[in-house]
Structure 1
Amino acid sequence: MGPHRCWGPVGTFNSAPAAAGVTPPIRIESSASSVTEGQTLDLDCLVAGQGQATITWYKRGGSLPPKHQISGSRLRLSQLSVADSGEYVCRADMGSVSREATITVTVTSRDSSSYRLQSPIISIDPHSMAVAPGEDATFKCRVHDGARPINITWRMGPGQHLQGPVTVKEGKSLSVECLGRGEPRPLVRWSRPGSRQKVEHQTLLHMDSQAILQLSPAKPEHAGTYVCTAHSALGSAQARVDISVETAQRHPGAPEVTAPPAVTVVAGDTATLHCTARGEPSPRIEWSKLRAPLPWQHRVVNGSLVIPRAAQQDSGQYICNASSPAGSAEVFVTLDVETHIHLLHPSIFPFLVDSSTTHPPQHMPIYFSPTSSIHPFLVDSSIPAHTHVSISSQTPPSTPS
């Protein structure tokens, strides 16, 4: 068995020969199946086995792009250009043995039609919202089209930074991002002053000089001061943030109410918002909608709010309130009613054309499925201009067997 090669959308990957049933000792994993100029591509050199290996990256017939970064076995190619296309090689030295794996990277120009088809199309719903202090504000990023996978990240606007302490309600989620800048790139990490224990609930992205503090769900013991430290060979810098956790005020014996934070349904379906409450005496459940009346066709069944034939205007925040003589408690549930979005090409039933005739028929029926989204510009340009094309949602006629 000789060398073997695997072709993929980004390029080809080669490895040394391997015996049947044996995993190749070295391979390259790519973070994306296709890449366009201006984007970032991560390549990871994976070496099978437990032994230590020294990893070296280089580009065949040239040098690595100026904005590349190497961290361990990982190579990051940032702000790629078409000129960065080529064969990239990972070399693993394991004592007296060395192995190589290669991958061919093809960077597509932004001007190509494939780039325009792959660019994500998103919208934010709602576009803006006004809330009173202490209220929740919920926004949803909707992805309408684009090449998969699509990663969604929420961040503050350019030049905006946290001002003053951050307050989060007990049981809610909070993420605080710390981003370091400088050359050489600094390592960033969160810590708590006066505590010898490491902050476990953080995500470290060394390649991006980024650390994300994640409190999910937030607990009273999470309150306090957190310090983000960026450290490099040239020095260090720090930023502090104070986090307070607002505990729910409950009287002894007050009900405990639970409900899912969000429910998503398709327009026309029945939306069911579940809510349960415990307490002594048994609490009474009531539903309301934030800054709007409840849908007229709603009903409450065993504490759950049921909205038949939900429409997009029914989207919003609903409040489940549980009350008893011992006190009351409430929880918010966000309902999102989505409309049908047709992103696929219509399904076309085949039609019979007699190949024995010299000229095509004057009428060639094309049948679409009833739920298809019809795009007239998709008609094949090979159809003669004088040909009549009729579009129908009827069932196609059966052809003789």
Structure 2
Amino acid sequence: MHECLPASLLKCFADAFFRLVAFTAPPTVRIIHSGLACNIEEERYSERVYTIREGETLELTCLVTGHPRPQIRWTKTAGSASDRFQDSSVFNETLRIANIQRHQGGRYYCKAENGLGSPAIKSIRVDVYYLDDPVVTVHQSIGESKEQFYYERTVFLRCVANSNPPVRYSWRRGQEVLLQGSDKGVEIYEPFFTQGETKILKLKNLRPQDYANYSCIASVRNVCNISDKMVSFRLSNKTASPSIKLLVDDPIVVNPGEAITLACVTTGGEPLPTLTWVRSVGALPEKTVLKGGTLTIPTISSDDAGTYSCIANNNVGNPAKKSINIIVR
């Protein structure tokens, strides 16, 4: 058929075809990040990893080429748009997450497609670094020696801190750094089932010098400029787990609209325990008034019926718990 067309028209069709070919291209994509990544010299990654401190702003930019202009979509874990970043960012070149939190770490994908060939996909793994305040809990055991008629008192101080990367712990007694083997009365170890998540200081057969101030220092080696954190505990011959009692009889039977007050007091524990109230099912009623160990519901309703518990905790031994049932007629 083309033999019937004027030469000029054939040339026009040819030019248009070559222009179409010359100015169309499948998409390509690469990901860059703004800001400085945290450098960890002792780590070596074979994949692209962007490390960032919790609370900072993450910005990832997807640089694309292709004609027609490719459409961009960000996803987290291949397949679906993440619900952890704003929808307005999902289809932009730049993905921005302000005040990033630890659960937002993971692999992010940028997908570009323009209908030519297969979509272009690149990914980068975001590692969020953090260090929570350490917590020391204390447990005691008493063993009887029948031959010598005395009691051995052994104390375990357990230090725990959530972190990424893994935390390293150190212990001090006063200003003295405690190391495994430096004191025959002290043993420092990690329970095999915790995989480095905790560090236990065992004081065997307590001596007078063991009653002192102990500090646990949690460190992530200053990565991402995260400073060490410390918690202290004063061990004395009065250190004891909490005990409590309720100043009301169980159960309490009330009419709708009446006010009720539940009182809980400590009867023991060193250091002084903190008291909290909880409900067995759901949260405390919104109208609840809490003051120390006292819980007041000004106008009770049938929805407020149930079991309420007072819990005392001082990080020594197990928390103490007392419960009471409220029946609304």
Q: Same fold (TM over 0.5)?
A: no
| TM-score normalised by L of structure 2 | 0.25
* Higher normalized helix content (fraction of residues): 2
In terms of Rg, which structure is larger? Answer: 2
More strand by share: 2
